[in-house]
């Protein structure tokens, strides 16, 4: 009887504790977006043309290949379909090819009603990637098909829209960062399909009253150049220089490097496992991933009475651009955005920053940072084809400029 009473007390206490945790507040944005669940169509993981001279597979995390067929001698068609519709026209593809003997083939990437976006990357190991030579790619008249000229052999070759970086890769990278004395890597919860939602906490000393930054990435699965920029950004923050150490003593960072692990591993073009664009769900948090991360940021900052002063969200698009808030002047860092962008431009020779400021419209993360915390909100976009070395370099310079400004 005493044991049962003890368990009941524990249960009631846990319920009260759970109920007392603060949560992210809803906000009625001027341009609302329906983020209720929408069904998706999953691709069947398999080896295609098992008895053929050329075979293909989508049986790995991050793959996208809906069908693979031979349409003529040495000509093959790879059909690439989205997880559901309507959807942003960003056809993601990733699969492996091999053949019985060495041969040259024409590979047709068939996007059906969508247009080609990502120039193909090739790899022999899924780690080191090269861009397919321009002369080996030809588009049809309306760009709904991309015709690739390839050499295939018994050695597997990877074909992908961008470098394949899946949940396992990001988790491994987080473990490496956690070797730094200022970094704690953990899992704050799990996605719809049970994949980890990774969190990195960065900073030295007591976090009480410490100004905090929140950083997001990979809300949209194919946007890996944004993630690469984040890697460069954090490399600079964690380089243990005097600037880095001073910054981590004064500020805390909360980093969520892979917000959409289901979409990344399922090879989605845009959405999560429930068919929704997470970067439209910052109003009522109907999706599990958005709700868990939004609540976590609110709870962590509330627990230590730490003001969230800046939020950044790393993405990819057709060119480098910064989407900013016109309301930033109403925050505790009223001049940060303009000063930061000017510092980046000054540090990069012959580089002109593109900024696209806007007011509160749709429920996207940059506006949420303002509506929830009155913090500066910035969407950091990197071009799909931006040189990878420059992506990392720009990320480091962006971090350097940010730390300089926030420390002075």
Indicate if 153 and 281 belong to the same structural domain.
no
Whether 314 contacts 227, CB under 8 Å = yes
Indicate if 101 and 207 belong to the same structural domain.
no
Closest alpha carbon to 40 in 72, 87, 2: 87
User: What does the pLDDT read at residue 16?
Assistant: 46
Indicate if 76 and 208 belong to the same structural domain.
no
**Which of 141, 160, 179 marks a domain boundary?**
160
Indicate if 187 and 311 belong to the same structural domain.
yes
User: What does the pLDDT read at residue 107?
Assistant: 98
- Domain of residue 102, residue span: 47-160
Specify if 1 maps to a domain.
no
Specify if 35 maps to a domain.
no
Specify if 31 maps to a domain.
no
User: What does the pLDDT read at residue 19?
Assistant: 57
Report the C-alpha gap between 170 and 256 in whole angstroms: 11
Indicate if 214 and 84 belong to the same structural domain.
no
Report the C-alpha gap between 179 and 240 in whole angstroms: 12
**Which of 160, 187, 218 marks a domain boundary?**
160
Going by the DSSP 8-state scheme, the letter that residue 43 receives in this structure is P
Specify if 4 maps to a domain.
no
Q: What is the pLDDT along the chain (408 residues), one digit of tens a residue?
A: 444 544 344 444 444 444 589 999 999 999 999 999 999 999 999 999 999 999 999 999 999 999 999 999 999 999 999 999 999 999 999 999 999 999 999 999 999 999 999 999 999 999 999 999 999 999 999 999 999 999 999 999 999 999 999 999 999 999 999 999 999 999 999 999 999 999 999 999 999 999 999 999 999 999 999 999 999 999 999 999 999 999 999 999 999 999 999 999 999 999 999 999 999 999 999 999 999 999 999 999 999 999 999 999 999 999 999 999 999 999 999 999 999 999 999 999 999 999 999 999 999 999 999 999 999 999 999 999 999 999 999 999 999 999 999 999
Indicate if 176 and 153 belong to the same structural domain.
no
Specify if 34 maps to a domain.
no
Q: What total number of domains does the chain contain?
A: 2
**Which of 160, 177, 203 marks a domain boundary?**
160
Indicate if 127 and 222 belong to the same structural domain.
no
Indicate if 222 and 296 belong to the same structural domain.
yes
User: What does the pLDDT read at residue 17?
Assistant: 45
Report the C-alpha gap between 76 and 279 in whole angstroms: 36
Specify if 174 maps to a domain.
yes
Indicate if 127 and 61 belong to the same structural domain.
yes
Tokens of 85: 């519709």
Indicate if 153 and 269 belong to the same structural domain.
no
Q: What is the DSSP code string of 186-244?
A: EEEEE-TTS-EEEEEEE-SS--TT--EEEEEE-SSTT-HHHHHHHHHHHHHHTS--HHH
CATH of the domain at 375: 3.40.630.10
Q: Do β-strands 157-160 and 94-99 pair in parallel, antiparallel, or remain unpaired?
A: antiparallel
Tokens of 276: 């929704």
Indicate if 153 and 199 belong to the same structural domain.
no
Specify if 37 maps to a domain.
no
User: What does the pLDDT read at residue 1?
Assistant: 45
User: What does the pLDDT read at residue 3?
Assistant: 41
Give yes or no for a cis peptide into 86 (omega within 30° of 0). yes
CATH of the domain at 144: 2.60.40.3120
Of how many residues is the chain composed? 408
Give the dihedral sign, CA 171/173/174/178. positive
Specify if 41 maps to a domain.
no
Report the C-alpha gap between 87 and 268 in whole angstroms: 10
Indicate if 74 and 204 belong to the same structural domain.
no
Give the dihedral sign, CA 161/167/172/178. positive
């Amino acid at each position: 009887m005493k044991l049962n009473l003890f368990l009941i007390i524990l249960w009631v206490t846990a319920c009260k504790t759970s109920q007392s945790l603060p949560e992210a507040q809803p906000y009625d944005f001027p341009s609302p977006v329906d983020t209720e669940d929408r069904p998706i169509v999953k691709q069947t993981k398999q080896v295609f043309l098992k008895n053929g001279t050329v075979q293909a597979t989508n049986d790995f995390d991050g793959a996208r290949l809906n069908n693979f067929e031979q349409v003529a001698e040495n000509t093959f068609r790879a059909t690439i379909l989205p997880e559901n519709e309507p959807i942003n026209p960003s056809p993601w593809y990733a699969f492996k090819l091999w053949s019985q003997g060495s041969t040259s083939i024409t590979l047709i990437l068939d996007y059906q009603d969508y247009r080609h976006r990502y120039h193909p990357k090739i790899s022999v190991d899924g780690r080191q990637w090269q861009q397919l030579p321009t002369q080996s790619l030809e588009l049809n008249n309306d760009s709904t098909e991309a015709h690739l000229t390839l050499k295939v052999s018994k050695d597997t070759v990877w074909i992908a829209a961008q470098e394949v970086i899946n949940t396992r890769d990001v988790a491994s990278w987080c473990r490496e960062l956690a070797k730094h004395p200022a970094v704690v890597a953990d899992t704050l919860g799990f996605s719809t399909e049970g994949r980890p939602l990774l969190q990195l906490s960065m900073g030295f000393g007591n976090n009480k009253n410490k100004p905090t930054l929140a950083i997001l990435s990979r809300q949209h699965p194919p946007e890996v150049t944004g993630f690469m920029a984040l890697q460069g950004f954090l490399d600079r923050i964690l380089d243990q220089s005097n600037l880095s150490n001073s910054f981590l003593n004064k500020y805390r960072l909360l980093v969520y490097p892979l917000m959409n692990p289901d979409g990344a591993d399922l090879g989605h073009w845009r959405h999560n496992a429930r068919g929704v664009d997470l970067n439209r769900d910052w109003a009522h948090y109907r999706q599990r991933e958005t709700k868990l991360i939004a609540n976590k940021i609110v709870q962590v900052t509330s627990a230590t009475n730490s003001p969230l002063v800046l939020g950044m969200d790393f993405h990819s698009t057709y060119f480098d651009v910064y989407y900013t808030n016109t309301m930033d002047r109403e925050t505790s860092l009223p001049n940060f955005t303009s000063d930061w962008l000017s510092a980046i431009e000054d540090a990069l020779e012959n580089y002109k920053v593109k900024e696209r400021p806007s007011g509160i419209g749709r429920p996207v993360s940059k506006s949420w940072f303002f509506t929830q915390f009155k913090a500066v909100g910035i969407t950091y976009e990197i071009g799909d084809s931006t040189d990878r070395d420059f992506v990392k370099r720009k990320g480091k310079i962006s971090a350097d400029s940010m730390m300089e400004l926030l420390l002075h």
